[in-house]
Chain A
Amino acid sequence: MSRIEVVSSVLAANEAKAEQNKARLHAAGAVAVNVLSAPGSGKTTLLQHTLTALTDLPAAVLVGDLQTSRDAERLAATGAPVVQINTGQGCHLTPDQVAEGLDRLDLEQIKLVFIENIGNMVCPAGVDLGEDYRVALLSVPEGDDKIAKYPTLFQAADLILLSKVDLLPVLPFNVAQVEADLALVNTRAPLLRRSTLTGEGMPEWLAWLRSRRRS
């Protein structure tokens, strides 16, 4: 028996691919935003309304789901370029899948690429896809304990959207608890309250996106 010392990162290959994605996006002058949350938090609805409102910033979406192209159909109705990525059993998008998705976009025409990750609060958090920014959604119906339960998702976020805040008057949800939990895991990312129904937070969200634009 002989032992060989290897001491190399198992994740290095993925990280190298993520760096390639990032370099490619930068070369095209595009910014990528990875959007993460549980299933049903409102990622697709957020992006539908964002694509419609963001007429001054050409945007595209790579949308990941285990199955179906339903999200891509919803998003394509806005007129934006959309690529559906089906991962089958895969619990998060991989840098390879994102690279294949980018192959199907005309990056020269695009300034902003949204990557709508698989709805999952655990696995996508640890996987760099080559994005510039991460946005995490927490919707009011999910409950005010989710930041404490899934700290890694919110730790890595650059912006946290508290979505469906129009439901605050009718659901037992303690915003102060969310803020207290966030103070333990991420004091860098702003927490922005938003609602698709009332439009609350939408101007601030669009301003945040516009200020990320690569000049």
Chain B
Amino acid sequence: MHELGIATEIVNATVKAAAAHGAERVSAVAVEVGALQLVDVEALCAAFAAAAAGTLAAGARLDVREVPLQAVCRVCGTTYAPAIDDYQCPRCHAADPEFVAGNDIMLMSIDLETAEEQQGEPH
């Protein structure tokens, strides 16, 4: 269960960026999660809600896009899309991948509400 640690990092980065833009509230956060991070999306959303409580991001929606693995074979240089449980290069059959996608967690965008917008909206 490392989703809480990841969610806390997402909330910290979100609050920092939102505060820098003078936001009063964050309504949604979009992240990309690489397959290699073995993140359970449901657990991440629950952890995000808990970590966001009491911050600018309280109640914000978390949109998660999962990013499949992409690798470059360190032996023959072939670029390929390994399965999560099989990293063999389709060309030379070595399992020595350098992952070039699907190994990170990226904060992509944040939807903000400013103080004026908040006053104008019923919620």
Chain A residues engaging chain B, CB cutoff 8 angstroms: 1-11, 13-14, 90-92, 94, 122-123, 125-126, 148, 151-152, 155, 182-188
Instruction: Decide yes or no: A10 and B84 within 8 Å by CB, A152-B38, A188-B74 being known contacts.
Output: no
Rounded to whole angstroms, the CA-CA distance of A123 and B1 in the bound complex is 7
8 A Cβ contacts from B91-105 to A? 93-97, 104-105
**B43: Cβ under 8 A from any A Cβ:** no
Residues of B within 8 A of A2 (CB): 21, 111-112, 114
Chain A residue at minimal CB-CB distance from B33: A10
**Chain B nearest Cβ from A88, distance in angstroms:** 12
**Complex contact A6–B37 (CB within 8 A):** no
Q: Can you list 18 A-B contacts (CB < 8 A)?
A: A1-B111, A2-B114, A4-B18, A5-B108, A8-B106, A9-B106, A10-B6, A11-B9, A13-B9, A92-B2, A122-B2, A126-B37, A148-B85, A151-B86, A151-B87, A152-B36, A155-B87, A184-B87
**Chain B nearest Cβ from A144, distance in angstroms:** 15
Residues of A within 8 A of B66 (CB): none
Residues of A within 8 A of B85 (CB): 148, 151, 184-185
**Complex contact B2–A91 (CB within 8 A):** yes
**Chain A nearest Cβ from B13, distance in angstroms:** 6
**B115: Cβ under 8 A from any A Cβ:** no
Residues of B within 8 A of A188 (CB): 74, 94-96
Per-position 1/0 for B23-35, Cβ under 8 A of A: 0000100010000
**Chain A nearest Cβ from B2, distance in angstroms:** 4
**Complex contact A4–B31 (CB within 8 A):** no
> Which of these, B18, B31, B38, B94, contacts A10 with CB under 8 Å?
B31
Rounded to whole angstroms, the CA-CA distance of A151 and B95 in the bound complex is 11
**Chain B nearest Cβ from A29, distance in angstroms:** 28
Rounded to whole angstroms, the CA-CA distance of A107 and B33 in the bound complex is 37
